[in-house]
């Protein structure tokens, strides 16, 4: 069951569903959904594609990259992809809320990268929590009920022995902080 939860709620999938929803809420129409899909492509699909490419080359055993010392290139791809996507969104006048969400995800990735240099923080928990927090701020506080899914992600990462409880709680906390960008901006 833990394997199913971690695979279904992996960052790519959480970002695809969450950012399309966030874009729809931010833009109020299908144009917003398209911006959300573009954001998900940059924040989730491109990095997942990179991980899969490296996995097929034999660099990593699977998409989880459990050895934190091997994660730096992934963070570089994520930062680059989100950065380029944010620049495109800014130049093309994407809805402000989806652009702020992208900047938030970029900032969270920087924090995860820095922490990862000394400690193995859970990226899956951070992404799940960040998506829920952003949806709660942009769309509706009712999205906070989806923290049940964040708890499931945290549980699955611990059950699979990829992370400790502290690493998943720290990841979820960093992800939740992404919503602070809306307060600060």
pLDDT recorded at residue 164: 97
Q: Is the pLDDT assigned to residue 4 strictly greater than 70?
A: yes
Distance CA 153, CA 141 (A): 20
Instruction: Count Cβ atoms below 10 Å from residue 20 Cβ, excluding itself.
Output: 20
C-beta of residue 122 within 8 angstroms of C-beta of residue 76: no
**Secondary structure class of 160 (helix, strand, coil):** coil
**Gap between the Cα atoms of 146 and 158, Å rounded:** 19
Give 93-129 pLDDT, tens digit per residue: 999 999 999 999 999 999 999 999 999 999 999 999 9
Q: What is the spatial distance between Cα 12 and Cα 128, in angstroms, rounded to a whole number?
A: 10
pLDDT digits (tens, 9 = 90+) for 8-37: 999 999 999 999 999 999 888 888 999 999
The DSSP letter of residue 162 is S
Band the pLDDT of 185: cuts 50, 70, 90: low
Per-residue model confidence as pLDDT tens digits over 150-177: 999 999 999 999 999 999 999 999 999 9
Contact 42, 85 (CB under 8 A): yes
pLDDT of amino acid 184: 72
The answer to whether residue 135 scores a pLDDT higher than 90 is yes
Q: How confident is the model over 46-66, as pLDDT tens digits? A: 999 999 999 999 887 777 888
How much is the mean pLDDT over the chain?
Answer: 93
Which pair of structure tokens corresponds to residue 120?
């193995």
| pTM (two decimals) | 0.92
Residue 9 has which token pair?
A: 């709620």
Alpha-carbon distance 174 to 37, whole Å?
23
* Token digits of residue 56: 């097929």
């Amino acid at each position: 069951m833990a394997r199913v939860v971690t695979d279904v709620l992996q960052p790519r999938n959480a970002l695809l569903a969450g950012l399309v929803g966030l874009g729809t809420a931010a833009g109020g129409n299908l144009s917003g959904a398209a911006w959300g899909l573009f954001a998900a492509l940059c924040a989730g699909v491109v990095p997942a594609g990179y991980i899969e490419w490296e996995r097929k080359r034999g660099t990593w055993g699977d998409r989880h990259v459990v050895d934190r010392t091997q994660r730096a290139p992934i963070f570089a791809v994520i930062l680059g992809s989100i950065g380029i996507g944010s620049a495109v969104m800014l130049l093309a006048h994407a809805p402000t809320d989806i652009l702020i969400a992208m900047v938030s995800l970029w900032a969270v990735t920087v924090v995860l990268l820095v922490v990862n240099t000394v400690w193995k923080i859970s990226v899956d928990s951070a992404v799940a929590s960040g998506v829920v927090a952003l949806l709660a701020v942009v769309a509706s506080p009712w999205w906070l009920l989806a923290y049940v899914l964040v708890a499931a992600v945290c549980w699955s990462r611990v059950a699979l022995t990829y992370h400790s409880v502290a690493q998943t709680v720290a990841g979820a906390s960093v992800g939740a902080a992404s919503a602070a960008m809306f307060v600060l901006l």
